[in-house]
Structure 1
Amino acid sequence: MVKLVLLHKADSIYEDEPDVVYDFPRSYLKAVEEAVGDWVVYYEPVKAGPRGYFGVAKISRVIPKPGVEGRFLALIEPGSFLPFDSEVPRLADGRPLEASLTEPDGTPKKGGSVQLAVRRLPEADFARIVNLGLPQELERIEATRYDPQLAELAEGAELFERPVLERLTRRPYREVAFRRKVREAYGYRCAMSGLHLRNGGGRPEVQAAHIRPVERQGSDSVRNGLALSGTLHWMFDRGLISVADDCETILVSRNKVPGDVVGRLLAPDGKLLKPEDPRNAPHPENLRWHRENVFGQVVSGETLDWG
């Protein structure tokens, strides 16, 4: 097995969805097949945007692209994709983060391997990029973010070093990373009420909801998330509310949710608040899955008391 860097452009002719599939030509087939079962880092080229390295995922298998000669699909292992907490710049102190892109004097190479859409990535380079994008102390950073007393207690505390791969697969760490990215994408506002609520200490009250749960093949992509208030998160998970196929109209299970409750909780226009960056907008397929598999379903053994 081998780790890779995969170039991704949102407006490319290749139909990539970083948490689901990577579309590539035959020229990269051997390298991608070698990476099956291993991790890859996604990279946005200079002409496509400013992000640099922006996430990780694991390849589960490679198949020919149906109906397209000479193209292949690398299928991403469900639940493996994780966006970086902070996008990692292409250069650090003027030097590339990949050894293959670096001249002997430390300056960036030009042409050649720099242009490759699929690049082999040494273990040391992989660990360095992931550590910059998903720091070891991310859970502690989040836990002490809005509490000065906890932050003071944490100062000087020894950090338990976890191997990179263990960190990428630990559910508590991934939940923190997902929550931070989703809430940030929506400006800490509830996507269905539009409210921007913070408690006395400045902590945002909005939560991060998975549209398709991880245990049902959902991912930790921001495009599989919605920032929701606690009540609306509860309602969304129980199928009392959803989003229509126009990706903006909020649907309500009217036979289960009283009209006055709707008026108190949802935005007056009944529309979903979208992230400022359209690349973070909910993916239509995730919303479709929620409508077809969760919305309107009977919640067994649970009494809904609206007061």
Structure 2
Amino acid sequence: MGFGVFIHRTDSIYDDSPAEQYRFPGQYLSRVQASVGDWIIYYEPRKVAATRGYFAVAKVAQVIPDPKAPEMYLALIEPGSYLDFVNAVPFSGPDGVIERGVLNEAGRISGRAQAAVRPISAADFNRILSIGLAEDQPELPRSGQAIDTLSPNGFSEDVQAPFMVEQERVRVTELSSRIVRDRLFRRLILQAYDKRCAVTGLKLINGGGRAEVDAAHIRPVEANGPDILSNGIALSGTAHWMFDRGLIGLSDDLEILVSRHANDRDSIQSLIHKTGKAISPAAIHERPHPQFLQWHRENTFKH
């Protein structure tokens, strides 16, 4: 097992769904197989407009032949492991290239940086992870409950390990923590929606500096919904309650649907944004994905 980097473009020609599977040609089979059972980082190339750089982490569960195409393979992602970074990590920073493993002996970027799949050292993996998940100012929860004290690298202060190998595994363990993932997911969604409820359009900040909005999963975690931006939406407490109980839903073009089973449709309509559509982020990869919206309509929304 070993850490890896998988290159993925938002406009990829491959049938990729980063939270579920990564499609690749046979030339990279041995490299991908080396990451089975371990974590990889997704990277979007610099030549892509508005590139996200290193943008997410996920765990590879297994590799299978692509049933739809000969000589192609699928790296299946372990359900619930994918996590978007709260900070996109650029290829280069103030101190030079972030992923030092792409440099040659002369300290220059080698052809290895062009490989769609490549191994990455534990040191590079941890460096990228620390930047991607750093929370200088953690997003406060809606209520006043206490939150874990975090270091600038996004992990708990009480996590201390004397050896690098232990530190690597401790950080990987943190990636599987539901508490950590919920906190990071909330920050991601509130950033994308500017702390504004997608259904009502209201942006309310209480006296304690807390945004009165929830980060809601469209397809719930309990139903194998991933912690991916496109499976999230910012909702006020009331809108969140109605969404989870199927009293409101969303069409693929984000029209707000009101269930016929709602006992006070007029009041619900009065809460909805005047356009009749949910507010959405500008970036395509941050908007609710149709596959998750369809799941909600088929499994939660009361028609």
Same fold (TM over 0.5): yes
Aligned partner of residue 267 in structure 2, secondary structure: helix
Is 1:124 aligned to residue 131 of structure 2? no
Q: Which amino acid aligns with 2:4?
A: L
- Report the Cα offset of residue 143 of structure 1: 4.1
Query: In 2, Cα distance between the equivalents of 1:127 and 1:154?
Result: 16
Is 1:286 aligned to residue 257 of structure 2? no
Q: Per-residue CA shift, 1:183-221, capped at 9, x if unaligned?
A: 111121111111111113442111100011112111100
Contact 2:258 2:265 in 1 (8 A): no
Q: Which residue of 2 aligns with 1:207?
A: 214
Query: In 1, Cα distance between the equivalents of 2:278 and 2:150?
Result: 38
Query: In 1, Cα distance between the equivalents of 2:141 and 2:185?
Result: 17
Query: In 2, Cα distance between the equivalents of 1:26 and 1:295?
Result: 42
Q: Which residue of 1 aligns with 2:33?
A: 33
Contact 1:186 1:275 in 2 (8 A): yes
Q: Taking structure 1 as reference, are residues 247 and 77 closer, same or farther at Cα in structure 2, changes over 3 Å only?
A: farther
- Report the Cα offset of residue 44 of structure 1: 0.9
Query: In 2, Cα distance between the equivalents of 1:101 and 1:41?
Result: 14
- Report the Cα offset of residue 139 of structure 1: 9.4
Superposed, 1:88-127 pairs within 5 Å as: 88-105=89-106, 107-110=107-110, 112-127=111-126
- Report the Cα offset of residue 97 of structure 1: 2.5
Q: Select 1:277's aligned residue among 277, 283, 287.
A: 283
Aligned partner of residue 58 in structure 1, secondary structure: strand
Aligned partner of residue 141 in structure 1, secondary structure: coil
Q: Which residue of 1 aligns with 2:158?
A: 160
Q: Which residue of 2 aligns with 1:216?
A: 223
Query: In 2, Cα distance between the equivalents of 1:70 and 1:261?
Result: 56
Contact 1:206 1:230 in 2 (8 A): yes
Q: Which residue of 2 aligns with 1:18?
A: 18
Q: Which residue of 1 aligns with 2:82?
A: 81
Q: Taking structure 1 as reference, are residues 140 and 92 closer, same or farther at Cα in structure 2, changes over 3 Å only?
A: closer
- Report the Cα offset of residue 224 of structure 1: 0.5
Structure 2 length-normalised TM: 0.87
Q: Taking structure 1 as reference, are residues 277 and 164 closer, same or farther at Cα in structure 2, changes over 3 Å only?
A: same
- Report the Cα offset of residue 140 of structure 1: 7.3
- Report the Cα offset of residue 264 of structure 1: 2.7
Contact 2:260 2:302 in 1 (8 A): no
Q: Which amino acid aligns with 1:39?
A: W
Q: Which amino acid aligns with 1:211?
A: I
Q: Per-residue CA shift, 1:33-52, capped at 9, x if unaligned?
A: 22111110011100113321
Q: Which amino acid aligns with 1:142?
A: E
Contact 2:20 2:79 in 1 (8 A): yes
Q: Which amino acid aligns with 2:159?
A: E
Q: Which amino acid aligns with 1:2?
A: G
Query: In 2, Cα distance between the equivalents of 1:190 and 1:132?
Result: 28
Query: In 1, Cα distance between the equivalents of 2:224 and 2:141?
Result: 31
Q: Select 1:176's aligned residue among 159, 164, 183.
A: 183
Structure 1's unaligned 5+ residue stretches are 298-307
> Could you tell me the percent identity over the aligned residues?
46
Contact 2:201 2:279 in 1 (8 A): yes
Aligned partner of residue 2 in structure 1, secondary structure: coil
Aligned partner of residue 46 in structure 1, secondary structure: coil
- Report the Cα offset of residue 144 of structure 1: 9.6
Q: Per-residue CA shift, 1:91-141, capped at 9, x if unaligned?
A: 233432223211335x4414x211100010112211111111113xx4973
Query: In 2, Cα distance between the equivalents of 1:78 and 1:154?
Result: 26
Contact 2:88 2:132 in 1 (8 A): yes
Structure 1 vs Structure 2 CA RMSD: 2.6
Query: In 1, Cα distance between the equivalents of 2:275 and 2:109?
Result: 52
Query: In 2, Cα distance between the equivalents of 1:188 and 1:180?
Result: 9
Is 1:253 aligned to residue 249 of structure 2? no
Contact 1:3 1:120 in 2 (8 A): yes
Query: In 1, Cα distance between the equivalents of 2:217 and 2:188?
Result: 12
Q: Taking structure 1 as reference, are residues 80 and 70 closer, same or farther at Cα in structure 2, changes over 3 Å only?
A: same
Query: In 2, Cα distance between the equivalents of 1:228 and 1:185?
Result: 12
